[in-house]
């Protein structure tokens, strides 16, 4: 539009000169027309950067020059097109309400002509102004829509980058939990078994060998856990949750803590996140029992309730004695974070000498 208007103004000036030549009025019309074209180029650019007051002043001068050109050259296509250009510029510079006023003033240039001719010219010029007004208004609307779309696209790119960063952070947190709750669980057991084997190595080599065999088995299970985590990342189907809990109980029993599994309710398909959260909670719970509870046995209780799932990790150990703080290590923190992320909760219940029960409740 910025390039088209000066070109159109120059073409209209040439047409106007050709129309005025036969009547001998080409010289005054040419001088005024050149002034009008120069003002429409320089003044228009100046008004666009100066604000509404400058735009109003520019359009007032342009209208006066346009009327003078029309009076000098006479009614013709060239002089009329120059005035129509003022209407287009008014739409580009002013709010639509004010530009309507400019569009209504332009046809008044024919006032003073004979009634029949004047009325015909007013109507034709008015139609030309209306047509130019509509085209310019559509151009402005499209330009503003493009600007709004560009802003929206930029905002979407920012939101997309934030979402990607958030997804990356969540994935890092999930992987950290998997490493701690899965591999960390097995390595803890391996460390305890190796430590026990070293303690009895000299006095009871057979017992030490059995403990080292259990440590070797735990290392294989750690590798299996890593493979399960990788399989989950790749979308590989994992075993049923009750079966995984029973395998976990067997591992715990082999490490020296007899563990049983109780399943209540009708089994149903669970989402991968819910199943993983419950399994990791069981893993971490048993690890804490072996490390801190001094328990003789533990129980995993899984319940399929109508609208939620619960898992309890219970032991018969010493419990939390007196005013000792509730357990809040990284393992339990990870369990809480998993549960809260899925809209669930974690409750730790304990009485001195009666063991500890960690209850995880998730929707599912």
Closest CA to 91 of 55, 120, 67, 40: 55
CB 249 within 8 A of CB 263: no
pLDDT over 70 (residue 329): no
Question: What's the sign of the alpha-carbon dihedral 111, 115, 121, 124?
Answer: positive
Query: In DSSP terms, which residues pair with 260 in a beta bridge?
Result: 299
Dihedral pair phi/psi, residue 237, rounded to 5°: -70, 135
Structure tokens belonging to residue 156: 């979407």
Residue 221 within a domain: no
* pLDDT reported for residue 109: 84
Mean pLDDT of all residues in 16-26: 81
* pLDDT reported for residue 171: 75
CB 363 within 8 A of CB 306: no
Mean pLDDT of all residues in 238-256: 87
Q: pLDDT over 90 for what percent of the chain? A: 22
Q: Which residue in the block uniquely carries the two structure tokens 């503003």?
A: 144
CB 121 within 8 A of CB 110: yes
Residue that finishes a domain, picked among 60, 92, 111: 111
* pLDDT reported for residue 336: 86
Spatial separation of the C-alpha atoms in residues 35 and 44, rounded to whole Å: 13
Q: Helix or strand or coil: residue 309?
A: strand
pLDDT tens digits, residue range 100-148? 988 888 888 887 777 777 788 888 888 988 998 999 899 889 988 999 9
Mean pLDDT of all residues in 67-77: 86
Residue that finishes a domain, picked among 80, 111, 142: 111
Spatial separation of the C-alpha atoms in residues 142 and 138, rounded to whole Å: 6
Query: In DSSP terms, which residues pair with 345 in a beta bridge?
Result: 361
Mean pLDDT of all residues in 189-194: 79
Q: Helix or strand or coil: residue 227?
A: helix
Band of pLDDT at residue 359, cut at 50, 70 and 90: very high
Mean pLDDT of all residues in 141-167: 90
How many CA within 13 A on the CB side of residue 321? 6
Mean pLDDT of all residues in 188-208: 81
Question: What's the sign of the alpha-carbon dihedral 62, 66, 72, 78?
Answer: positive
Spatial separation of the C-alpha atoms in residues 40 and 7, rounded to whole Å: 11
Residue 291 within a domain: yes
Closest CA to 101 of 83, 87, 118, 84: 87
Residue 139 within a domain: no
| pLDDT mean across residues, the chain | 84
Q: Which domain holds residue 21?
A: 4-111
How many domains is the chain built from?
Answer: 2
Residue 16 within a domain: yes
Spatial separation of the C-alpha atoms in residues 108 and 122, rounded to whole Å: 7
Spatial separation of the C-alpha atoms in residues 89 and 224, rounded to whole Å: 75
* pLDDT reported for residue 185: 67
* pLDDT reported for residue 201: 81
Residue 155 within a domain: no
Residue that finishes a domain, picked among 111, 142, 161: 111
pLDDT over 50 (residue 325): no
CATH assignment of the domain containing 355: 3.30.565.10
CB 189 within 8 A of CB 218: yes
Q: Which of 23-32, 83-92, 170-179, 280-289 has the lowest mean pLDDT?
A: 170-179
DSSP structure class, residue 255: T
Residue 118 within a domain: no
Residue 334 within a domain: yes
* pLDDT reported for residue 215: 78
Query: Which H or E element spans position 263?
Result: strand 259-264
Residue 135 within a domain: no
């Amino acid at each position: 539009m910025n390039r088209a208007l000066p070109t159109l103004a120059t073409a209209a000036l040439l047409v106007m000169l050709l129309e005025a030549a036969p009547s001998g009025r080409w010289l005054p019309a040419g001088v005024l027309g050149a002034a009008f074209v120069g003002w429409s180029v320089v003044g228009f650019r100046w008004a666009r950067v100066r604000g509404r007051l400058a735009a109003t002043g520019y359009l007032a001068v342009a209208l006066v020059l346009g009327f003078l050109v029309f009076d000098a050259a006479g009614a013709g296509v060239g002089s009329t097109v120059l005035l129509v250009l003022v209407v287009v510029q008014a739409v580009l510079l002013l709010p639509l309400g004010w530009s309507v006023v400019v569009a209504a003033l332009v046809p008044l240039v024919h006032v003073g002509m004979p009634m029949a001719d004047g009325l015909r010219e007013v109507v034709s010029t008015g139609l030309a102004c209306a047509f130019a007004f509509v085209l310019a208004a559509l151009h402005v609307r499209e330009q503003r829509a493009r600007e709004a779309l560009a802003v929206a696209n930029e905002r979407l790119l920012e939101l997309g980058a934030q979402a990607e960063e958030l997804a990356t952070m969540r994935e890092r947190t999930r992987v950290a939990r998997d490493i701690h709750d899965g591999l960390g669980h097995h390595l803890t057991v391996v460390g305890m078994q190796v430590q026990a084997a070293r303690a009895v190595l000299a006095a009871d080599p057979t017992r030490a060998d059995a403990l080292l065999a259990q440590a070797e088995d735990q290392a294989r299970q750690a590798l299996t856990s890593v493979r399960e985590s990788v399989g989950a990342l790749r979308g590989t189907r994992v075993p049923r949750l009750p079966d995984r809990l029973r395998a976990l109980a067997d591992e715990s029993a082999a490490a020296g803590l007899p563990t049983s599994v109780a399943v209540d309710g009708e089994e149903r398909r669970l989402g991968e996140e819910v199943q993983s959260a419950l399994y990791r909670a069981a893993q971490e719970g048993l690890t804490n029992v072996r490390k801190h509870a001094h328990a003789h046995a533990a129980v995993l209780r899984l319940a399929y309730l109508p609208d939620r799932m619960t898992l309890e990790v219970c032991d018969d150990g010493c419990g939390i004695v007196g005013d000792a703080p509730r357990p809040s290590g990284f393992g339990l923190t990870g369990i809480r974070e998993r549960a809260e992320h899925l809209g669930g909760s974690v409750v730790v219940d304990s009485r001195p000498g009666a063991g500890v029960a960690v209850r995880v409740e998730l929707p599912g």
